[in-house]
Amino acid sequence: MMIDADHQAALRHEAEHWLFDSEPPVSLYPRQEGLPRIRVAKVIATRGCWAQCTFCNFSYLVKRNRRSAPAPVIDIAQVRHAVRERAPVDVIKLVTGLSFGEPSMYFTQLIASVRERRDARVQAFSAVELDHLSRRENCSARQILVQWRQAGMDQLGPGGSELLIDEVRQRVSPYRLSTERFLEIHKVAHQSGLTSVAGLLIDRQTKPEHILEHLDRLSTIASGLDAIELQCFEPEKSPLSIVPGARLDQILRALKAIKTMYPHLPVRLNQRTIFSIDREVLLAEAGLDSVLQTVWEVEP
Ligand code: SF4
């Protein structure tokens, strides 16, 4: 759905109110029903990553010494077995760190092996991996996406965590792709007949103006998005454990801002961030559409 510039500006103005207003968006009489669950399986190709983003638990496990052994990658037979034997899910998410060893063909085979499960959507990797592979193999992101789509990919994932503000990216993830490249890869995915999911990472220090700017940036790809995942920084899983996670009122404000600017897009949040019925009721009231619940996970 395309939104014209005037309408987008009016929605942005309304979103500003939710982010900057002194009253948190909490109802005194919230509705009581729980939110729908999206059952997720995670296939982790490798936990090693050279990119060293400070907030990431994949980066945390990588040794900086170049002579150390590369992180192991998952065996295709192990993935096939899990896909056949484990419980049914709605989405299979393929995720990985950035490795120097595996070619894009390895990831194509991984996609084909999970596609055996016809009843689940296959969300494969993200703009970060596509940028890395296209540079390493000297080919375009479009060429890799064509192969992946033929193998059974349905949509491009949001990546571990994104805040499309280059100044922040330079500070916490200087080796990841730029905002411009992120948006370009999502557009290529949409032109290739795929949908994609965007993320929004927030922590205690995320400024409301950064959230607005991030949402502005998404306007150029919003028509091809399937959903937005609101991702809350988890300090205990990161080398940045001294930075506190997002407060509930920050999450509620960000949620309201997303729903105001992109009312047609479902917003999802991970089950881990909810952790209580009270929180779920407040989040549902603020417009959260569904909860991502990991049912099973395989890794090397
Ligand atoms: S966020 Fe992505 S690119 Fe950054 S260290 Fe983690 S896996 Fe690597």
**Domains present along the chain, CATH in parentheses:** 5-19+31-298 (3.20.20.70)
Per the CB < 8 A criterion, the answer to whether 202 and 211 are in contact is yes
Q: From the CA of 137, how far away is ligand 1's center (Å)?
A: 19
Give 50 or 85, the one with higher predicted confidence.
85
CA distance 197 to 3: 18
Q: Is 53 in the pocket of ligand 1 (CB under 6 A)?
A: yes
Q: Residues 56, 109: contact at Cβ < 8 Å?
A: no
**Confidence at 32, pLDDT banded by 50, 70, 90:** low
Nearest by Cα to 229 from 193, 198, 272, 274: 198
55 lines ligand 1 (CB under 6 A): no
Tens digits of residue pLDDT in 167-187: 988 888 888 899 999 999 999
Residue with the nearest Cα to atom 7 of ligand 1? 97
| Residue bearing the CA closest to ligand 1, atom 3 | 51
| 285-288 contacts at long range (C-beta below 8 A, 24 or more positions apart) | 285/26, 285/27, 285/30, 285/31, 286/25, 286/26, 286/252, 286/255, 286/256, 286/259, 287/255, 287/256, 287/258, 287/259, 288/35, 288/230, 288/255
Cα of 47 from ligand 1 centre, angstroms: 9
Per-residue pLDDT tens digits for 65-87: 555 666 788 999 999 999 999 99
pTM of the model: 0.89
The Cα–Cα gap between 12 and 113 comes to: 42
Buried b (16+ CB within 10 A) or exposed e, 68-94: eeebebbeeeebbebbeeeeebbbbbb
> Which band of pLDDT confidence, cut at 50, 70 and 90, is reported for residue 164?
very high
Tell me if 45 CB under 6 Å of ligand 1: no
Q: Which of 13-17, 19-23, 145-149, 256-260 has the lowest mean pLDDT?
A: 19-23
97 lines ligand 1 (CB under 6 A): yes
pLDDT value for 273: 83
> Could you identify the atom of ligand 1 that is nearest to the CA of residue 126?
2
Under 8 Å between Cβ of 18 and 272: no
Q: Could you tell me which residue, 238 or 255, shows the higher pLDDT?
A: 255
The whole-number pLDDT of residue 66 equals 54
Supply the pLDDT for residue 26: 64
241 vs 274, more confident: 274
Task: Give the distance (Å) from ligand 1 centre to CA of residue 62.
Answer: 11
Which helix (H) or strand (E) segment holds residue 19: the answer is: helix 5-20
Number of residues in the chain: 300
Residue 33 has pLDDT above 70, yes or no: no
Quote the ligand 1 centre to 158 CA distance (angstroms).
Answer: 12
For ligand 1, say whether the CB of 273 is within 6 Å of any of its atoms. no
